[in-house]
Structure 1
Amino acid sequence: MDFPFDALRRRPDLEAPELQAWDAADLLLLDESADDRRQAGPGELVVIGDGYGALTLPAVSDGAQEVRVHQDALTGEQALAANAAELLPDAGVRSLDLDADLVRGARVVLLRLPRSLHALEDIAGLIAAHAAPDAVVYAGGRIKHMTVAMNDVLRRFFDRVDVTHARQKSRVLIARGPHDGADPRPRRQQHPGLLVVCAFGGAFAGTSVDIGTRLLLEHLPAAFPDEVVDLACGTGVIGAFIAMRDAAAHVYATDQSAAAVASARATADANGVAERMRVVRDDALSSRPADSARFVTLNPPFHIGAAVHDGVALRLFADAARVLQPGGELWTVWNSPQRYRSALEELVGPTRQIARNAKFTVTVSTAR
């Protein structure tokens, strides 16, 4: 395919020599779907899970028109827009939520397979419910991240699932004949003594409360300022817990994941604190002005895709420092092997350890 893949960039997501904006699975998906894509009319191609535009923009370059796209990560959405502006300014791409409008009437769907089977169930059910009766789904990924169970999930919603030959450690599943579709609904789990957690399939950790978050919850103070910022909120566990503990506290929760934001809103509603918990999809805290918060909580991710990388956490520390007022506090729980204390000292301010167990450390950093 005559497309300048090496010109694609990840910005505003982290960029580093070892992090690429496309991979072999993208190329295989494009090759396997080429004939069906070229027969699709305007608005009949949908792309789900594109990282930074490596599926969408080559498809447009190959003739696709009015492509609808869903990317869970806001930074991926922003990178796609930036790459389109630079490489294909007239691309005509629309970014949409993961709902019926995204896939209604679609005849060809390109899907980067999610890691979570629940996420795949949500996506496959949505396509089966609203795509055209003759829709075909090309679902691909790296073989090391694929399981036979993914075939089983697709077979629940499609009459036929074929498997391509492997190429460059990648493979594509091809699903045809949609049936028995359903719109995604959040899963729900009661955690006695804590709260109810709701999660859509694409949300990290699902309905569980991970042990790092539990350690942070056990050591939070009894009272909070009028507003608490829950940065990288995930399913909203920390923010909802604080709102439940302190009836005077309002929570501003933010995450760049669309699935996380939808899950956090559902969690807030399930625990009766939706009126005091605002959940926003944002890249870190970019929508917040400097010196606008007194108390921030954070359980930072330490993966970028499949790679362990501290770049995401460092960006979050820096943005928390920007938003905190002098003397404000950042309460962080982190994997102890990451050794973030020196980075917190440098980026935020004096940092003290509050708790530690075999895997996690809780610290409080006071903003300068």
Structure 2
Amino acid sequence: MDFPFNRLRRWPDVEADNLQAYDATDLLLVERALSLGIDGREIAVIGDEYGAITLALTDAGLDGIRVHQDLATGRRALARNAAELDLAGFSSHELDATLLDGVRLVLLQLPKALAELEQIADAVTRWAAPDAVLVAGGRVKHMTIAQNEVLGRSFAEVQAERAVRKSRLVVASAPSPAPSDPPFPVTARHDGLVLVAHGGAFAGARLDIGTRVLLEALRQAQGPRQPQGPRQPQELRQAQGPSGGQASSAGWVAEPVEATPAETVVDLGCGTGALAASYALAHPESRVIATDRSAAAVASARATVAANGVADRVTVMHDDAGSELADASADAVLLNPPFHLGNSVHTGAATRLFEAAARILRPGGELFTVYNSSLGYRAELTRLVGATEQVHRTPKFTVTRSIRR
């Protein structure tokens, strides 16, 4: 294979010496597709992180390939790499019928989340050709039997192949009839807040712990001062039954944010939109912008704000680190940053979001950040944004407030 994989870049995603724009799984998937001799117009590529699969096949002469990438960074990297290599002849799509209609071969870089894999497998059985074959690949160290079981619910035949160069392909064929109702999105209620989630959205329809802690910190930092004393934070106490024991329907109480309202608030890396919807519910006079680089998260957040009746006051954007937001345009930013890049633990993703917050905040604006206490981001926040103080801490999480200098 003569394709120049080493010329591919991850930009605008984080770039580092130990982070590549392709891996052995990409090569295996390309080799398999070329060996099958299927027309490019009958091939769909899903999860092509930076375009390695799509561009290698296009370079080999296949035309009309359809591709779906969840991340905005991946979409921009694909476009940039295609321009750099002077390649065209493919089209980008969402995970829908336009991606899969009539497709006979689906090439998939296995996602981390089983729910995302379930939604992809269902989409293939729902919209692809009746004889479609799904060839999924991943690094062996990240693959599990559970992935085969998920595929087995949508395909009659699932066969894992021998590992090659520490990667493995799994071939799923004979699609089962798709159920009348798709498995996603899913909906859950959290004491007045409705969350809607597609398969690829972090934490699904659950209210993740970091978000709960950030909601409590916002109340403590900006809301009316509460008498101090031994008590459980309101957003973190478990619902209890009449006798004081946990009720059968107990969950974590997710009360709306009671912070002093800011005129323009940005939920940076919004996920399913829990923070954006909570803030909008509590502060109808505020303008809220929710942005995430994941298409699944954006679709989830849009559904969440609609389900909570605040779609007219919350704008949801598919964007990379708020790049489409103007400088000094926000009064406050809410941030629960990731600490993974794909399957790698890397702080670069958080750093990019800190830099983004510093850019979009007006001088004197506030950044509220929640993070795993072991990561110790306070010094970096002070350097990149401005004076930073701890406003809340639990055994696992720290919340800081940074004032834009």
Asked if 1:215 is matched to 2:213, the reply is yes
Q: 1:107 aligns with which of 104, 107, 112?
A: 104
Tell me by how many angstroms 1:42 deviates: 4.1
Q: Equivalent residue for 1:301?
A: 338
Asked if 1:174 is matched to 2:175, the reply is no
Tell me by how many angstroms 1:266 deviates: 1.2
Residues 153 and 328 of structure 1, relative CA distance in 2, 3 Å threshold? same
| Mapped partners of 1:82, 1:337: distance in 2 | 36
Q: Equivalent residue for 1:356?
A: 393
Tell me by how many angstroms 1:184 deviates: 5.8
Rg larger in 1 or in 2? Answer: 2
SS state at 1:275 partner: coil
1:177-326, aligned counterparts within 5 Å? 177-181=174-178, 183=182, 185-192=184-191, 195-220=193-218, 221=222, 222=258, 223-326=260-363
Q: Equivalent residue for 1:32?
A: 32
Q: Give CA-to-partner distance per residue, 1:20-76, whole Å, 9 cap, x none.
A: 11111112222233322x2x2242111000011111111112221111111111101
| Mapped partners of 2:304, 2:185: distance in 1 | 9
Asked if 1:147 is matched to 2:147, the reply is no
| Mapped partners of 1:180, 1:272: distance in 2 | 35
**Contact 1:125 1:180 (8 Å CA) reproduced:** no
SS state at 2:80 partner: helix
Q: Give CA-to-partner distance per residue, 1:131-174, whole Å, 9 cap, x none.
A: 11121111111122211122222222222222211112211111
Asked if 1:121 is matched to 2:118, the reply is yes
SS state at 1:43 partner: helix
Q: Give CA-to-partner distance per residue, 1:228-261, whole Å, 9 cap, x none.
A: 1100101111111111122222210000100000
Q: Equivalent residue for 2:247?
A: none
Q: Give CA-to-partner distance per residue, 1:180-202, whole Å, 9 cap, x none.
A: 2255631112223x522111000
Percent pairwise identity: 54
Aligned length: 364
**Contact 2:55 2:87 (8 Å CA) reproduced:** no
| Mapped partners of 1:277, 1:180: distance in 2 | 38
SS state at 1:55 partner: helix
| Mapped partners of 1:357, 1:136: distance in 2 | 48
Q: Note the residue ranges of structure 1 that are not aligned, 5 or more in a row.
A: none
Divergent runs of 4+, >3 A: none
SS state at 1:252 partner: strand
Tell me by how many angstroms 1:332 deviates: 0.8
TM-score normalised to the size of structure 2?
A: 0.87
Q: Note the residue ranges of structure 2 that are not aligned, 5 or more in a row.
A: 223-257
TM-score normalised to the size of structure 1?
A: 0.96
| Mapped partners of 2:148, 2:351: distance in 1 | 37
